[in-house]
Amino acid sequence: MDEGQDETTCDETTYERYRRASGLLAGGSPDAAAILLAGLREEDPTSASVLEAYARALFDSHRYGAAAEAFGELVERSPAEDYAHFGLGLSLWRLQQFTSARDHLAMAAVMRPGRKDYADALAQVKATIRARVAGGLPGSVEP
């Protein structure tokens, strides 16, 4: 590699880098995808598709706080995007913010009632809340 060059060649387009990042994410390399997507976000902070892929990469990298922030930004930008609510709900669930997770998963499920993955996640977080309340666990329901 020439001095001063990184893995991204000067003639690689933004779209090609996005496709490469998507391939990394689909191929099980979310950390590498997140790095590429972070760079793309700097170049075009308004791109919803880059932000969604970045949020997914963060989630798949087990960086749930950062994923919740990214999915939250998607929800703020486009409140009618079911997948943004779903991703935010899953991220909040992993952060043990059960009530907020339930609310976003419920929104996603209402928006797309045919999505089994949405319904399943909602049912699981509701069961988690019920079990925590029944067990008297602290933080079962957020204020």
Summarised one tens digit per residue, pLDDT across range 43-97 is 999 999 999 999 999 999 999 999 999 999 999 999 999 999 999 999 999 999 9
- Whether 3 has a pLDDT exceeding 90, the answer reads no
Contacts 24+ apart (CB under 8 A), 118-125: 118/82, 118/86, 121/86, 121/89, 121/90, 121/93, 122/89, 125/89, 125/93, 125/98, 125/101
57-66, 108-117, 129-138: segment of lowest average pLDDT:
129-138
Given this structure, which CATH class describes domain 64-135?
Answer: mainly alpha
Any idea where the domains of the chain sit in the sequence? 9-62, 64-135
pLDDT computed for residue 13 by the predictor:
87
- Whether 7 has a pLDDT exceeding 70, the answer reads no
